[in-house]
Amino acid sequence: MNAHDSKIENASPQRPTREEAEEAVRTLLRWAGDDPAREGLLETPKRVTKAYGDWFRGYSEDPTEMLQRTFEEVEGYDEMVVLRDIRFESYCEHHMAPIIGKAHVGYIPNGRVVGISKLARVVDAFAKRLQVQEKMNAQIAQALMTTLEPQGVAVVLEGEHHCMSTRGVHKPGVSMVTSTMFGVFRDDPATRKEFLSVIGNPTNRMG
């Protein structure tokens, strides 16, 4: 077991043991109609619990902590900073099916600038949890607004929900677009328009 797996397993006193999690996978395999004792499935419970450690590592990550290190010597830069097309992988909390998409994150500094890799890490920290896209969108924006205290924050998410493409209505290729705007992005239509122009305005792109 690596350090991350240990952190995941020990994060909560109510968290089941790895052995209990593996037995739960065996139960699901039997529910699906297969035999967990057959050769091809013998290691599956172990593989699944290991995969869960990666898919849901966001529960052991603190997005606020990721944003603590900022750069103040930026020559008074106070224009828009945008990181677009950040690929994310999340999981629907209703069916545990994948949500695959892109995040576009922008903010206007108020004296504090964060490294661009931190923006991507914050997206991942919230994505690597069971999620509803609207909630994830708001969480990312709120973390940036609260921690960086910028003039404004804008976050747009585009996601394909596999609970819709691989089950239910079976409509692949459909993207859901959500947005959260704070500060000048909410109050100033020109600033909001500039941000949407920079990221390629997902709503228009889908039309």
Selected catalytic residue, list 160, 162, 163, 194: 163
Q: Where is the domain boundary, 57, 80, 109?
A: 57
Q: Is 4 a catalytic residue?
A: no
Query: Residue 39: how many CA atoms within 13 Å on its side-chain side?
Result: 0
Q: Is 104 a catalytic residue?
A: no
Whether 90 and 175 map to the same domain: the answer is yes
**Residue 164 placed within a domain:** yes
**Residue 207 placed within a domain:** no
Whether 183 and 102 map to the same domain: the answer is yes
Whether 47 and 90 map to the same domain: the answer is no
Total-model pTM: 0.87
**Residue 7 placed within a domain:** no
Domain that holds residue 40: 18-57
Residue 56: Cβ-neighbour burial (10 angstroms; 0-12, 13-18, 19+): middle
Q: Is 170 a catalytic residue?
A: no
Whether 120 and 36 map to the same domain: the answer is no
Q: Is 94 a catalytic residue?
A: yes
Selected catalytic residue, list 20, 94, 134, 149: 94
pLDDT higher than 60, residue 144: yes
Q: Is 139 a catalytic residue?
A: no
Handedness of CA 112, 116, 117, 118 (dihedral sign): positive
* Burial per residue of 95-130, b for 16 or more beta-carbon CB atoms within 10 angstroms, e otherwise: eebbbbbbbbbbbbbeeebbeeebbbbbbbbbbbbe
- 163 is known to lie in a ligand binding site: yes
Give residue-wise pLDDT tens across range 31-84: 999 999 999 999 999 999 999 999 999 999 999 999 998 887 666 778 999 999
CATH of the domain at 33: 1.10.286.10
pLDDT at site 78? 82
- 95 is known to lie in a ligand binding site: yes
Q: How many domains does the chain have?
A: 2
Whether 23 and 121 map to the same domain: the answer is no
Instruction: Kindly report the average pLDDT of the chain as a whole number.
Output: 91
